[in-house]
Amino acid sequence: MGLTIFTYLSTAIIIIMAFRIRSRGRKRDVAIYRIAALCTAIYGGLQASGYLLAADYTDTALTLIRWAGAFASFSYLAFFRLSLTFPYGRKLAGVDVLLFVLAGLSAWRFAGTGDYLESVRRVLLEFIRFEGPRFKLYGMLSAGLGLVSAVILWIRALLIKSRVYRQQAFLMSAGIIASVLYGYMVSLYLPSGGATTIYPIGSLGGLLAVLAAAYAFSSTRLFHLPSLSKTLASQMAMIAVFGIPLALLAGILLQFRLSIPVVLVTLSIAAFLLLGRGADRFASKRFGTARNEEAREEIEADIAHLDLSLGREAVLASLSTILSERFGSLWFWMLSEDDAGGLVRVFPGEEESTVVGAGSPVLEPLTSLERQVILKTDVVADPAFAAHKAILLEFFDALGAEAIILAKEGRRIIGLFALGPKRSGADYSALDYDAFMAIQGKLFVVAYYVRHVARESLLATVEKEIGLADQIVRAVQETIDPIRYPGVDVSYICQSTRQLGGDLYDSVKISEHRWFFVVGDVSGKGLNAAMSMVILKSMIRTLLREEKDFVKLVSRTNAFIKEQLPRGTFFAGVFGFLALDKGSVYFINCGIPAVFFKSPGLDTVIEVQGEGKMLGFVRNLEPYLKTRKLALPAGSSLVITTDGIVEAENVRGERYGKERMVRILAENKGANANDTIDAIIKSATAFTDGKLEDDVTVLAINYSGRKGGTA
Q: Which span out of 340-344, 444-448, 530-534 was modeled with the highest average pLDDT?
A: 340-344
Residue burial 635-659, b: 16+ Cβ < 10 Å; e: rest:
ebbbbbbbbbbbebbeeeeeebbbe
Domain extent at residue 71: 3-219
Considering the domain architecture, whether residues 436 and 562 belong to the same structural domain is answered as no
Q: What number is the average pLDDT over the span 556-582?
A: 85
Considering the domain architecture, whether residues 270 and 302 belong to the same structural domain is answered as no
- Which residues 6+ apart lie within 8 Å of 399 measured at CB? 333, 355, 418
What's this model's pTM, rounded to 2 decimal places? 0.58
Q: Which span out of 295-304, 459-468, 507-516 was modeled with the highest average pLDDT?
A: 507-516
- Is 10 contained in some domain? yes
Residue 523 has pLDDT above 60, yes or no: yes
Q: What number is the average pLDDT over the span 88-111?
A: 91
- How do residues 178-234 score in pLDDT, each as one tens digit? 999 988 888 778 777 777 777 777 788 888 898 888 888 877 777 655 555 555 555
d(CA 212, CA 448): 43
CATH number at residue 360: 3.30.450.40
- Is 466 contained in some domain? no
Considering the domain architecture, whether residues 540 and 632 belong to the same structural domain is answered as yes
pLDDT score of 497: 60
Output the CA–CA distances (angstroms, integers) from residue 191 to 196, 197, 333, in the order listed: 5, 8, 62
pLDDT score of 481: 84
CATH number at residue 212: 1.20.1070
- Is 464 contained in some domain? no
Considering the domain architecture, whether residues 418 and 543 belong to the same structural domain is answered as no
- Is 471 contained in some domain? no
Give residue 77's pLDDT band: very low, low, confident or very high (50, 70, 90).
Answer: very high
- Is 472 contained in some domain? no
Give residue 464's pLDDT band: very low, low, confident or very high (50, 70, 90).
Answer: very low
- Is 461 contained in some domain? no
Q: What number is the average pLDDT over the span 431-452?
A: 83
The domain boundary residue, chosen from 241, 266, 284? 284
Q: What number is the average pLDDT over the span 240-253?
A: 56
In order, the DSSP letters of 536-556 are HHHHHHHHHHH---HHHHHHH
Q: What number is the average pLDDT over the span 420-445?
A: 84
Residue 505 has pLDDT above 60, yes or no: yes
Q: What number is the average pLDDT over the span 458-482?
A: 54
Considering the domain architecture, whether residues 618 and 489 belong to the same structural domain is answered as yes
d(CA 166, CA 697): 55
Considering the domain architecture, whether residues 69 and 138 belong to the same structural domain is answered as yes
Q: Are strands 594-598 and 126-131 parallel, antiparallel or unpaired?
A: unpaired
Considering the domain architecture, whether residues 275 and 304 belong to the same structural domain is answered as no
- Is 378 contained in some domain? yes
Considering the domain architecture, whether residues 557 and 666 belong to the same structural domain is answered as yes
> Any alpha helices (H) in 581-641, and if so which ranges?
none
Considering the domain architecture, whether residues 233 and 196 belong to the same structural domain is answered as no
Average pLDDT, the chain: 80
Evaluate whether 209 touches 179 at the Cβ level (below 8 Å).
Answer: yes
Question: Considering the chain, what percentage of its residues have pLDDT values greater than 70?
Answer: 81
Residue 463 has pLDDT above 60, yes or no: no
Residue 710 has pLDDT above 50, yes or no: no
Considering the domain architecture, whether residues 672 and 564 belong to the same structural domain is answered as yes
Total number of domains constituting the chain: 4
Considering the domain architecture, whether residues 548 and 653 belong to the same structural domain is answered as yes
The 3-class SS string of 32-93 reads HHHHHHHHHHHHHHHHHHHHHHHHHCCHHHHHHHHHHHHHHHHHHHHHHHHHHHCCCCCCCH
- How do residues 12-46 score in pLDDT, each as one tens digit? 888 888 887 776 667 888 889 999 999 999 998 88
The domain boundary residue, chosen from 219, 243, 265? 219
- How do residues 631-664 score in pLDDT, each as one tens digit? 888 888 999 998 888 888 887 888 888 888 888 8
d(CA 36, CA 78): 5
Residue 263 has pLDDT above 70, yes or no: no
Give residue 402's pLDDT band: very low, low, confident or very high (50, 70, 90).
Answer: very high
Considering the domain architecture, whether residues 90 and 197 belong to the same structural domain is answered as yes
Give residue 56's pLDDT band: very low, low, confident or very high (50, 70, 90).
Answer: low
- Is 185 contained in some domain? yes
**CA nearest to 693, candidates 704, 703, 684, 705:** 684
Query: Residue 418 forms beta bridges with which residues?
Result: 333, 404
CATH number at residue 663: 3.60.40.10
The domain boundary residue, chosen from 453, 471, 501? 453
pLDDT score of 711: 36
